[in-house]
Structure 1
């Protein structure tokens, strides 16, 4: 993971927090009893999300092994997924506007199993291209034996 990915997570958390705060504004304007407390909760949730963003980024990782790719993520709820190279059907590179501005990309894998949805975010764009090419090569060589 690139250290720049923290910036992407911070922007994402900030935008989400601003939307959450904006949802409370009509309740404040209508002078409902829960308008201001809802805004306070939204602000606290935004601050917590911003504070946890660097830790969320550090919790993401992957490793290429002999027969599969292992991906992990999560702080409280850990998720570890092993994707065999021979089962990879599509490897896609996505670049959002903030990530593109920072030179980052996300690698997404599609397999026959719907629950395997793995995406490795925060890769440097050149590394994502090289990793995609390497994984396509590995996937093609493993599928030959099927």
Structure 2
């Protein structure tokens, strides 16, 4: 089998920034609770707030390590009759999307992806089980892949 095409390494940064924003909100809320416990002399609230904030920081670091590995395990391969999308580190998932089953292909990007010049390509098929998305592709590559897949899908449908 040929080598999978990886997603952009910039996608690691995008995922880490998105994750850091979520964890920062949790930590901030817990630190506010801990400081309120300190100000109003509520010991259990102070201890619980600081302990949970520390726990969130530890979980954020663990998630960062996992995210780096997950992004490195994400890839795709254009084959003659289908597109193969592979993801996962512990639980590897391989989705095969036949070109003849495609209904439409979509390229989208949220604010963080746009800032990094990346996009997500989503493939919608006649069966929800074979729908697939591939995040973290450079925008020009995602658009070229969309056009390539759409033309192959159209050619397969024309042959029916």
Corresponding position: 1:99 with 2:137: no
Could you tell me which runs of 5 or more consecutive residues in structure 1 were left unpaired when the two chains were aligned: none
Superposed displacement of residue 143, structure 1: 1.3
Root-mean-square deviation (Å): 1.7
Given the two structures, how large is their TM-score scaled by the length of structure 1? 0.89
**How many equivalent residue pairs?**
146
- The partner residue of 1:16 within 18, 22, 41 is 22
- Going from structure 1 to structure 2, the CA distance change for 1:117 and 1:17 (only over 3 Å counts) comes to farther
Residue equivalent to 1:83: 97
Deviations 1:89-122 (A, max 9, x none): 1111111212111211110111122233311111
CA distance in 1, matches of 2:11, 2:85: 17
CA distance in 1, matches of 2:110, 2:22: 15
- The partner residue of 2:144 within 113, 118, 130 is 130
**Alignment map for 1:21-40 (pairs within 5 Å):** 21-25=27-31, 27-28=33-34, 29=36, 31=42, 32=45, 34-40=48-54
Given the two structures, how large is their TM-score scaled by the length of structure 2? 0.82
Superposed displacement of residue 27, structure 1: 4.2
SS of residue matched to 1:98 = helix
Runs of 4+ in 1 over 6 A off after TM superposition: none
- The partner residue of 2:13 within 3, 7, 10 is 7
Larger Rg: 2
Residue equivalent to 1:65: 79
